[in-house]
Structure 1
């Protein structure tokens, strides 16, 4: 009997080295508004969470409504960087190509952003059509909705799923869904102490390279 029936990958920071791009864009945009925040703090506090949650939290701290089209401008910046700078996480393509266990993506990113990132890194065909965005559910990470949705769509019981996540919000969501979770710290955005934070919120183990994943899931 296989160890698991389904491997669920987060996308940004697990398959795509994209969290650093998004976090840097957020930090630069908020700093321009007069709210000085670093890329590292954005990553630590908000990695894995929907944009709406980031904006709600930081607008409250800023004490003022965000300008019209604020998030739209950030998204434009991120798209430009995706097209010029985005890289897959080392080993992502070979891992997806070699897995015998069923797998899918469950991500906080929008469907359009997911498609763009996966196309730019030549991984779209390796995962399509099993790509699920939190836009499909009521609540994003750290709530479990997207993982439960993905498991149902893929015909797997939560107890037979293993999630690969790089964020505190994602690990929290996976464990709330009743799934095994591997924390991943191989992305460029991960800073010292990140492994400890993932363990604190329930990651069953933590790895810093995708080459270790296959042995753990199959």
Structure 2
């Protein structure tokens, strides 16, 4: 028995926007200026797909001191300038989205201000409109299922009929906990690490065929 996908839930950074490398490189620079030495691999392993609060907590545990007041705002302002200049969608995303006939939305760990700064320069803010949901709207962010369940509720879709597209292990875990089907997108410039036991793809041209396969498997 086939089970068609009725809603596609896209993560934002690293799935829609090819932003993770830009954001990680800036974070490494800003933390280095504070004497907190981390690498891009550290960011990939410890912070990808998680909220600012989660990242700040992990940094405090690692370095024995918290981030200074105003760090998030300063980092966000710098990142906005970098996004205005250098941000692009992941290769082929806009072409795929324009051909997509299934309803879609965005569910992201980024703060509302951050996701707005991401979607606007890509000319996608109006495309998704109000169908953009953030971790600020739920009690627990990824890897908890709350955000994806909230998105499905707002879009009036049963979780079993949803397909999540994620680039992070935290996001994949959250999707599975929500009872949703999930694909691991690996086509961003940050080249996310493989995740065991989840189907992966790295080219949006593959996506229509994958949708058919997923529906056939149920």
Q: Please, what TM-score do these two structures have when normalized by structure 1?
A: 0.92
1:81 aligns with 2:75: no
Match in the other structure for 2:10: 9
Q: Is the 2:11–2:108 Cα contact (8 Å) retained in structure 1? A: yes
SS at match of 2:96: helix
Select 2:202's aligned residue among 200, 205, 208.
208
Match in the other structure for 2:114: 113
CA deviation digits over 1:138-170, x for unaligned, max 9?
111111111000001111111111100001111
Return the offset for 1:2: 6.1
Q: Distance in 1 between matches of 2:9 and 2:25?
A: 26
Q: Distance in 2 between matches of 1:37 and 1:68?
A: 20
Q: Is the 2:3–2:161 Cα contact (8 Å) retained in structure 1? A: no
Alpha carbons of 1:183 and 1:86: their partners in 2 closer, same or farther (altered >3 Å)? same
Match in the other structure for 1:21: 22
Superposition pairs of residues 174-189 of structure 1, within 5 angstroms: 174-189=175-190
SS at match of 2:67: coil
Return the offset for 1:131: 0.8
Aligned residues: 211
Return the offset for 1:117: 1.5
Q: Distance in 2 between matches of 1:17 and 1:44?
A: 18
Superposition pairs of residues 38-77 of structure 1, within 5 angstroms: 38-77=39-78
Q: Is the 2:59–2:66 Cα contact (8 Å) retained in structure 1? A: no
Q: Distance in 1 between matches of 2:127 and 2:208?
A: 16
CA deviation digits over 1:100-131, x for unaligned, max 9?
11111000112222222212012222211211
Q: Is the 2:56–2:66 Cα contact (8 Å) retained in structure 1? A: no
SS at match of 2:35: coil
**Greater Cα shift, 73-82 or 120-129:** 120-129
SS at match of 1:106: strand
SS at match of 1:120: coil
Alpha carbons of 1:111 and 1:186: their partners in 2 closer, same or farther (altered >3 Å)? same
Q: Distance in 2 between matches of 1:127 and 1:156?
A: 17
**RMSD over aligned Cα atoms:** 1.4
1:94 aligns with 2:88: no
Q: Distance in 2 between matches of 1:53 and 1:65?
A: 12
